[in-house]
Each structure stands twice: as structure tokens, then as C-alpha cells.
Amino acid sequence: MHPDLQTLDDQLDAALRDAEAVASGLGEERGCWRSQPSSWSVAECLEHLTSTNRIYLGAMEPAALHARQDGRRRRGPAAPGFIGRLFVRNLEPPVKFKSRAPSIICPLTSCSLTEALATFVASQSDVRAFLRTFADIDLSGVRFRNPFIRGLNFSLATGLHAIPAHERRHLWQAWNVRRLAEGQSQP
């Protein structure tokens, strides 16, 4: 695997370990606990990440397949451009700017920490499969339509960097919820 893609794979590994750790020993009741009616539980943070990953990959895959058909081969590292780097940086924790998630990626009303973790793990496998399947195309040069921000196109590289950054953001949120659920103070 190319070093830049290995770095992304390593970030996915770290997010997976973090998700397993935040859910470990929490139990269903605390895993579905919300500090306020409008806030999310640990399980809902994981559900949100699963939905976002799947929708992002669904938007990225047709562009990647088209690039492969057109022979758009890898030219260099999968690196976001200037605007993409700003977008990815804005996703990183600690959260400085809160925004409402589009309804399509809001967590389900039913809650199961076990199921939320399992589906998150599956979505991570899907992201890894995308990385491996399309490692040979020009990830920095091929663009896809952002499914959440109308009129905005990103490179596949930006999308691939946004996924682990977004995961870190909501896993940070999940840890804060877990601390509150366990009666600890938020950092």
C-alpha cells in the first residue's frame, strides 16, 4: 500500500480502536443515554458516523469507477487541495463550530449500542475496501459531488481525509457523553 494510503488506513485503525474503547463496558443503558433531549448518545454518535461513511462512499464510488474506466491513474499522493485541507481541518476535534447534521445522517430514534458499534465496524471495512480498490487511481485529481453541501465538489482524496477527521470529531463527542453518563465532568 502507498504510504499516504497506509496513513489513512492507520487513522481508520485508530478510530476503530477508539470506538471500541468508548463503547467498552458502557452497557446499553449508558450507551443510549443523552445529557439533553437534543443531544446525542454514544450509540447515536456511532450511528451518525456509519450513515455519513456510507453516504460519502456512495457519492465517491461512481466517480472512482468512472476514473478507472477513463484510465485516470495515480499521479501522486492522495492529498486534499487547499480548500479540502481547510474543510478537513474544520472537522477535527475539539469542535470549534457546531453545525446541525443533515437529516439524512441524523441518528435513528431507536437505540442499541451493540448494533451501532457493529454497523460502525462494518462501515470502516467499507472505507478500507474503497481505499484498496481504488488505490491505483488519481485520488487527488478525481472529483465527486459532496452529498451534504450543495454545489460543492471535492477530490476523492479530500473525501478520504474527511472520513477519519469526521470520525475523530464524533468519537471525541462520544467520549464527552460517556464521561457525563458516568458522572464525570466534561474536559
How confident is the model over 118-144, as pLDDT tens digits?
999 999 999 999 999 999 999 999 999
pLDDT digits (tens, 9 = 90+) for 39-71: 899 999 999 999 999 999 999 999 999 999 999
The torsion angle over the Cα atoms of residues 105, 108, 109 and 112, rounded to 10 degrees, is -140
Q: How many CA atoms lie within 13 A of 32 on its CB side?
A: 12
Question: Taking the domains of the chain in order of start, what are their residue ranges?
Answer: 3-7+27-181
Q: Between 17 and 102, where is the model more confident?
A: 17
User: Could you give the 3-state DSSP secondary structure of residue 7?
Assistant: helix
Q: Between 50 and 107, where is the model more confident?
A: 50
The pTM of the full predicted model, rounded to 2 decimals, is 0.91
* Ranges 26-30, 31-35, 100-104, 123-127, most confident: 123-127
Q: How confident is the model at residue 109 (pLDDT cuts 50, 70, 90)?
A: low
154 DSSP β-pair partners: 144
Q: What is the pLDDT of residue 103?
A: 63
Query: By mean pLDDT, which of 52-56, 159-163, 177-181, 182-186 is the weakest?
Result: 182-186
- Is the domain spanning 3-7+27-181 CATH 3.30.519? The answer is no
- Quote the cell numbers at residue 133: 480498490
172 touches 93 (CB < 8 A)? yes
